[in-house]
Amino acid sequence: MPVLEQITQANVLAYKTTRLWALQDSPRSFGSTYARESQFSDADWVQRTANLNTERSVGYLAVDSGSYCGIAGAFLDQHDPRRAEMVSMWVAPTARRTGVGGILINAIRSWSKMRGVHTLQLMVTSENHSAIQFYERNGFSMTGHTEPYPNDPALFEYEMAQRLFA
């Protein structure tokens, strides 16, 4: 059964390794690239870890049988703390369709609710149909808002959201 670890300074190397794996496995699913992040210094990774462990942010790693197999984070909106954005969601290919993604989303939902968040949102690339279906199965729906995808002008990102409180 997968368990979650909150991303902290104690697991910065696991976070770095998992994030780089995610960028290699799913290069069109993130706003950044493996080429960019693989050049980060150890100090950069320590700072990124700190940025995911504040009153306004959280990050989780999924671990199954001692192997890291998923990642997700969230940030409160700077202008409206009743909104949060889920970021960096990824599940290893061997762990997909095993419940890891749902565990990560539930942890982000719980963290968001504890902070009074009413709307949890995310961005997903237009070609990532399996992720769109996964998010829909987990209560997200399209908002109608789109943005250009920063790494490929032929793609765009859909915004999806779900209400946490009525």
pLDDT digit string (tens) for 135-156?
Answer: 999 999 999 999 999 999 899 9
pLDDT of residue 9: 96
* pLDDT single digits (tens) 57-104: 999 999 999 999 999 999 999 999 999 999 999 999 999 999 999 999
- With b meaning 16 or more CB within 10 Å and e meaning fewer, what string describes 68-87? bbbbbbbbbeeeeeebbbbb
The mean pLDDT value for 9-32 works out to 96
Q: Domain ranges in the chain?
A: 3-163
pTM (whole model) above 0.85: yes
Please tell me whether residue 22 adopts helix, strand or coil conformation: helix
Contacts of 95 (CB under 8 A, 6+ apart): 2, 62, 64, 69, 70
Q: Which residue reads 């390794």 in tokens?
A: 17
* pLDDT single digits (tens) 24-41: 999 999 999 999 999 999
| CATH of the structural domain 3-163, one choice from 1.20.200.10, 3.40.50.80, 3.30.930.10, 3.40.630.30 | 3.40.630.30
Report the DSSP beta bridge partners of residue 156: 148
pLDDT of residue 166: 61
* pLDDT single digits (tens) 119-129: 999 999 999 99
